[in-house]
Amino acid sequence: MSESIIEIDDLNLTRKDFVPGNEVRWCPGCGDYSVLANMQKTLPIMGVKKENYAFISGIGCSSRFPYYMDTYGFHSIHGRAPAIASGVKLANPDLAVWVITGDGDGFSIGGNHMIHALRRNIDMNIMLFNNRIYGLTKGQYSPTSLLGKKTKSSPFGSVDRPFNPSAIALGANATFISRALDVDAKGLQESIKRAQRHKGASFIEVYQNCIIFNDGEFEDVENKASRPDNALFVVHGEPMIFGKDSDKGIIMNDHHPKVVTLGKDWTEKDLLVHDETNSIITNLLLEMTFDPTNPTPFGILRAVEAPTYDDMLVAQIKEITEIRGEGTLENLFYSGDVWEVK
């Protein structure tokens, strides 16, 4: 987004401004509804004019998202949204560009575009709806489905080792990585706000329940009762504490994260402190994702500053134009050895 901060009150936008008239056609109970609602709630207060938002998506259930936002939108082809969004942002750097994608769209058919968009650090926001299943094609395993997952295309259990998308984002040197839960409005809004404000490619992984083909996939963290003991919500600069009674924490043990109970043996001072600018901490958190002895981390996992592709391109154009002057067709056409026929 352009950093020109417009006074939020001046824009006078509300959630209603982002809701188009058409009917939303996700399955009743789908986790996508909550993400949509939180997006519509958050964008009006971001200081960006409504007409400057552009939502680009690929193919899949979540990729219908742009149709349900009353902004500029482009529902494109399978896996290509990050590439299309790159062109949108480079052609008009004033736009606030959002990519909406799923685990199949973004990490199977579109994996290549995903890593390169993140690597280039083009200033846009990529939101991944990770439901660990192919929903639109009616229930095949996806590249994030866990081993052993029984689906229509893996009736005897998947033998396909899954990706940890946020870890791939880190591997691609993404400058912003967050993880949120579809049922956690506060976490979602925090991720959306921070991503929108972040200059560079932002990656938000949303754990999203597919009520039809993969219901309960994230039950341990979605269920309000079991969530506190299974989810770790990290805050920059604060010790990693979780649990129903906030009595558990994460320490570093033999180079690995380990859960301890606060009390007589351990105090807050012993715990790891989250640092969103430290990739080693981010890596530690991501390692906990598939580890049954550790909680699943959520929150802003990483946020660092780095030059963006779009800024560097614009700066280079400016610099070369200052040195060489604005090119004219005359200059261009006569740039070789010219002769005249009289």
Partner 1 sequence: MTKKVVRINEATIRFAGDSGDGMQLTGTRFTEATAIVGNDLKTIPNYPSEIRAPLGTLAGVSAFQLMFGSTRVFTPGDMPDTLVAMNPAALKVHLRDLKKGGNILANSNAFTDKNLKMAGWEADPLTDGSLEGYTVYSMEMSKLVGKALENSDLTSKGIERTKNMFALGVLFWMYNRPIQPTEDWLRKKFAKNPSIAEANILAMKTGYNYGETTEIFTTSYSVDKAELPKGKYRNITGNVAVAYGLVAAAKKAGKELFLGSYPITPASEILHTLSGLRNYNVKTFQAEDEIAGISAAIGAAYAGALACTTTSGPGMALKTEAIGLAIITELPLVIVNVQRGGPSTGMPTKMEQSDLLQAVHGRNSDATIPVIAPLDPADCFDCAFEAARIALKYMTPVILLSDGYLGQGSGPWQIPDPKSLPEIKVSHPDSSARTEAGFMPYSRDANEARPWALPGTPGLEHRIGGLEKENITGMVSQDAENHQIMTDIRARKVQNIANEIPPSEIFGESKGKVLVIGWGSTHGSIHVAVARAQKNGQSVSQLHLRWVSPFPPDLKAICDNFDELLIPEVNMGQLALLLKAELIRPIHQLNKVRGEPFRASEIEEKINEILG
Is residue 251 involved in binding partner 1 (CB under 8 A)?
no
Is residue 342 involved in binding partner 1 (CB under 8 A)?
yes
Residue 42, helix vs strand vs coil: helix
Number of residues that bind partner 1 (CB under 8 A): 57
Sheet holding 241-242, edge to edge: 241-242, 248-253, 256-261
Is residue 332 involved in binding partner 1 (CB under 8 A)?
yes
* CB of residue 69 to partner 1, shortest distance in Å: 8
292 contact partners, CB below 8 Å, separation of at least 6: none
Is residue 9 involved in binding partner 1 (CB under 8 A)?
no
Structure tokens at 115: 């890593």
Binding segment toward partner 1, per CB under 8 A, in 84-92, 188-196, 224-232, 241-249: 84-92
Binding segment toward partner 1, per CB under 8 A, in 49-57, 130-138, 228-236, 292-300: 49-57
Where in 92-121 is the site for partner 1 (CB under 8 A)?
Answer: 92, 94-95, 112-113, 116
- Among 209, 182, 214, which residue's Cα sits nearest to residue 39? 182
Where in 305-324 is the site for partner 1 (CB under 8 A)?
Answer: 313, 316-317, 320-321, 323-324
Contact 64, 25 (CB under 8 A): yes
Is residue 4 involved in binding partner 1 (CB under 8 A)?
no
* Distance between CA atoms of residues 304 and 283, nearest Å: 14
Q: Are strands 296-303 and 231-234 parallel, antiparallel or unpaired?
A: parallel
- Looking at 3, 16, 91, 156, which residue binds partner 1 (CB under 8 A)? 91
C-alpha dihedral sign at 257, 259, 263, 264:
negative
Looking at beta carbons only, is 111 or 139 nearer to partner 1? 111
* CB of residue 98 to partner 1, shortest distance in Å: 12
* CB of residue 97 to partner 1, shortest distance in Å: 9
The string over 107-137, giving b where at least 16 C-beta atoms fall within 10 Å of a residue's C-beta and e elsewhere, is bbbbbebbbebbebbbbbbbbbbbbbbbbbe
Q: Distance from CA of residue 158 to its chain's centroid?
A: 26
Residue 92, helix vs strand vs coil: coil
- Looking at 41, 67, 140, 185, which residue binds partner 1 (CB under 8 A)? 67
Looking at beta carbons only, is 9 or 265 nearer to partner 1? 9
Contact footprint for partner 1 (CB under 8 A):
22, 49-52, 54, 56, 59, 66-67, 70-77, 80, 83-92, 94-95, 112-113, 116, 313, 316-317, 320-321, 323-330, 332-334, 336-342
